[in-house]
Structure 1
Amino acid sequence: MVAVVGAGVLVVVLVMVGFAVFGGVGFPEAKYRLRVPAELAGGTFELSADLSGTEGRRIVEENRNRSHVRNPTAVVGSYTGAGEQDGSRLVVSGLYGRFRSPAETRDDMLEGADEAEGATVAVPARDVPVRGSQVTVECMVLTSEQDGMPRNVPMCVWADDNTSASVGVVTDENVYQDPDKVDLEKVARITLQVREEMREPIG
């Protein structure tokens, strides 16, 4: 199979989402951080580019002076599918530090997608429960033009006291689907795998 969407397109869409954090009272203790591993989702995606030092720096600068964020650090990774996921793309754009309202963090990340250059919201954000998990994941479908054709960019976000990220997963199955038929529960499950594999205790 061939790549279904350019990595650059996916990176731009997700990095442009933004990470404004609002609301809440007080800041939690910093207990967790995010890393950029060589593989994600059980080894089905392999790291092709760690953009934390470039795109990640832009995210940090946007959040450094916000009164609702403490000690922000950003990680951005672009991944290509392996094995059964050959031709797929996964991009994770995350921030870790000390956040005041996880719910507001998720909402603001998703609202930022409305302003992402070259992206249109095709399926509005909604909670996507995953059986066996207590973590709230919200997902949506963006569309982005590439080579004159609209392509889907399904994405999900999570946020907790210390970590937040948007995860975009584009496959040959979902890229040209009717956006309303994209399996967002599948993307949510992958997002929770990504969270499990990227999030690690500090110290």
Structure 2
Amino acid sequence: MYTPPSATQIPQGHPWGTPPIVPPPPKKNRAGLVLGIIGGGILVVSVSALMGFVLIERVLDGGFPQDRSTLTLPRTLLDGRFELAQDESGTLGRTLEKDWARSWDAKAAHGVVGVYDPAGGDHGTLVVTGMYGRFKHTAQVRARVLANRGEADHVTVLVPPRDVTPSGSAVTVDCEVLRRTWSDGKHLTYPVCAWADGNTWARVAQMTLNASQNADLKVAAGTTLRIRSAMVKAAG
């Protein structure tokens, strides 16, 4: 079990600023992929070559799962311990959609970003950043949305991402431990977990003092699965 350093006093309200946005996936590059498949040599444009391009296109675009689930933002999470304070799906969610629109391993992806405040005596914020649609290569998706590559200027990775899936779970959960530091030297250490399946993925940042003081990644993974159960709904 990882025991984090004690967090110093943190700013009040929503000290985290904009909820974290995950880095965009590699963009589609059909020309490069086609050349990579064919290799060097002279390309002769003919009917057969054009048919070959069509077949390559179908292979590259195939293999996506059926659309069975969506991702929602419930009013409360974790038995009412957290209440939805901000729905950023219309802004940050749209940014996610634009970034992922040209990904080879995502189709019809819709962004969902929610900021939740503790309803009890805890302090801080729980931020869920995710998408629903059709995804393949889910292990790569989990790796992509962790490690906090987009916020390296003020966030340090203390424990790198690793598989901490609870026993008996059919859904893999990867978690890491991050530390966010402010200009005045105040900081917060907190766990971040991610799941990814054929229809949904989400990054759960538990940026609260309670999570900071008890950053057990197995506990964080279990919490993430409870959040997933509340957020994932059947399509249609």
Q: Normalised by the shorter chain, which TM-score bucket?
A: 0.7 to 0.9
Give the AA of the match of 2:94. Answer: R
CA distance in 1 between partners of 2:95 and 2:65 (Å): 24
Normalization by structure 1: what TM-score? Answer: 0.85
Report which stretch shifted further, 132-141 or 144-153.
144-153
2:145 is aligned to 109
**CA 1:68–1:8: 2 relative to 1, 3 Å:** farther
Structure 1 residue 88 displacement after superposition:
4.0
1:185 is aligned to 218
**Structure 1 unaligned runs (5+)?**
none
> Does residue 1:202 correspond to 2:226, yes or no?
no
Instruction: Give the number of aligned pairs.
Output: 194
Q: CA RMSD in A?
A: 2.5
> Does residue 1:165 correspond to 2:202, yes or no?
yes
Kept in 1, the 8 Å contact 2:195–2:203? The answer is yes
Aligned counterparts, 1:117-156, within 5 A: 117=152, 118-146=154-182, 147-156=184-193
Structure 1 residue 189 displacement after superposition:
1.2
**Structure 2 unaligned runs (5+)?**
1-8, 28-59
Select the residue among 120, 125, 131 that pairs with 1:89. 125
Structure 1 residue 6 displacement after superposition:
5.5
CA distance in 1 between partners of 2:77 and 2:115 (Å): 10
Kept in 1, the 8 Å contact 2:15–2:124? The answer is no
Select the residue among 80, 96, 120 that pairs with 1:43. 80
SS of equivalent to 1:7: coil
Deviations 1:146-170 (A, max 9, x none): 2422211310000000000000112
Aligned counterparts, 1:62-73, within 5 A: 62-73=99-110
Q: Which portions of structure 1, spanning 4 or more consecutive aligned residues, are displaced by more than 6 angstroms? A: 2-5, 21-24
CA distance in 2 between partners of 1:21 and 1:100 (Å): 14
SS of equivalent to 2:150: coil
CA distance in 1 between partners of 2:233 and 2:197 (Å): 13
CA distance in 1 between partners of 2:181 and 2:201 (Å): 27
Deviations 1:3-35 (A, max 9, x none): 7775352643x32x2353799961111110101
Identity %: 37
CA distance in 1 between partners of 2:220 and 2:12 (Å): 16
Structure 1 residue 86 displacement after superposition:
2.9
Deviations 1:98-122 (A, max 9, x none): 11111111111124x1332422211
**CA 1:5–1:32: 2 relative to 1, 3 Å:** farther
> Does residue 1:99 correspond to 2:135, yes or no?
yes
Kept in 2, the 8 Å contact 1:106–1:159? The answer is yes
Deviations 1:115-135 (A, max 9, x none): 324222111111112134221
- Of Structure 1 and Structure 2, the greater strand share is in 1
Kept in 1, the 8 Å contact 2:190–2:215? The answer is no
Normalization by structure 2: what TM-score? Answer: 0.74
Kept in 1, the 8 Å contact 2:195–2:201? The answer is yes
1:32 is aligned to 69
Kept in 2, the 8 Å contact 1:32–1:201? The answer is yes
**CA 1:97–1:126: 2 relative to 1, 3 Å:** same
